[in-house]
Amino acid sequence: MENIALDKIKIQLGSVQETLLIPLFGRAESTRQRSGLINDPIAVTIVNRLDYDFSKWQSAFGLVGSNIRTRMMDEEVATFLSRYPDGTVIEIGCGLNTRYERLDNGRARWIEIDLPDSMKLRRQFFNNTARRTMLSASVMETDWLNAVAKARPPYCFISEAAMIYLDNHQVQQAIEQIGQRFSGAWFITDTASSTMVVRQDQHDIMKNMSRESWFRWQCDEPESLRDWGLRLVQSRHFLQAPKAILTSLPWPYRWVFKYLPWLIRRRLEGYKINRFVFR
């Protein structure tokens, strides 16, 4: 039994689904380095179990960016739970995320959704509980919305590095499907500008991934999503992250963010963490 437990798990994921390994590795590296940005021993355990060459991402700034995004989104979800401790958090494209482990308050309901191959991998490390439900589904489908409707409101939908891999039409369809049934719900998502999407060949992580797995959704102005039934509450790029996050950055990123923001501003302004409310 001990030998079986140590067997490596082979990765069998589609091109886009493979990107779920990026934030996983970012959290594991931060934990190993004790940088303070993310502490996620579960991520370390999972990385050690996977038969995958993570070395291609070693020391990439994209890992730090992934961790900043995760922390900023954690803050948004924590705000929701502080206001609605008995609400429901819905993770769209949950991958191997551990947000439940980081933020669960012992009262909220969590629903985690991802494509079948991603969910098959996830189920090797996580289980359903009385307040946690994992569903194999595409955000483009509608059956999973029925499961959400059975959970207790209010609702907080979160898409971390998930919808940005869909094209504009698909994102609009997915957002409008949710909005038709969950008026007043929170929606937290990242958006990438058209410039950022076009220049992915310059991104230190995405340039090592197949083009099939690159971002597709282009959103230059998050406020424009009002046409899809969303009201923008807050939109921030990485330089606008809370001080507690920026002061936790590993060196030299902490120094650059503090003293040379002009050097990276153009690179970072096109990628935003947004909180919306479905009208």
Domain boundaries, the chain: 2-278
Residue 75 — very low, low, confident or very high, per pLDDT cuts 50/70/90? very high
Distances (CA, A) of 187 to 177, 217, 233: 13, 16, 10
Mean pLDDT over the full length of the chain: 94
CA distance 73 to 103: 11
The letter for the amino acid at 78 is: A
Instruction: Say if residue 182's pLDDT is above 50.
Output: yes
In the sheet that holds 186-192, the strands lie side by side as 132-136, 109-114, 88-92, 155-159, 186-192, 271-278, 230-236
CA-atom Rg of the chain in angstroms: 18
pLDDT at 2 over 60: no
Say what the pLDDT of residue 251 is: 85
What CATH code is assigned to 2-278? Answer: 3.40.50.150
pLDDT tens figures, 112-161: 999 999 999 999 999 999 999 999 999 999 999 999 999 999 999 999 99
What pLDDT score does 3 carry?
41
Tell me what the mean pLDDT of segment 150-176 comes to.
Answer: 98
Asked if the model's pLDDT at residue 250 lies above 90, the reply is no
Is residue 1 pLDDT above 90, yes or no?
no
What's the pLDDT score for residue 266? 78
pLDDT at 237: 95
pTM: 0.94
Provide the percentage of residues in the chain whose pLDDT is more than 70: 98
Dihedral sign for Cα 12, 74, 28, 261, please.
Answer: positive
Task: Classify strands 186-192 and 271-278 as parallel, antiparallel or unpaired.
Answer: antiparallel
Greater pLDDT, 260 or 112: 112
The answer to whether 13 and 93 are in contact (CB under 8 A) is no
Model pLDDT, residue 61: 85
CA dist 67 and 51 (Å) reads: 22
Would you say 122 and 95 are in contact if contact means Cβ atoms under 8 Å apart? Answer: yes
Q: What are the structure tokens assigned to 240, written together?
A: 């606008």
Tell whether the model's pLDDT for residue 44 goes beyond 50: yes
Q: Are 118 and 13 in contact (CB under 8 A)?
A: yes
pLDDT tier for residue 180 given thresholds of 50, 70 and 90: very high
| Tokens of residue 203, six digits | 């991104």
Are 158 and 91 spatial neighbours (Cβ–Cβ below 8 Å)? yes
3 state SS of 121:
helix
The string of pLDDT tens digits covering residues 50-72 is 999 999 898 788 899 999 999 99
What gap in Å lies between CA 74 and CA 51, rounded to an integer? 28
Specify the pLDDT at position 5: 53
Phi-psi region of 235 (alpha: psi -120 to 50; beta: other; left: phi over 0): beta
Q: With a cut of 50, say whether residue 4 has pLDDT above it.
A: no
User: What is residue 59's predicted lDDT score, i.e. its pLDDT?
Assistant: 78
Quick one: pLDDT band at residue 6, thresholds 50, 70, 90? low
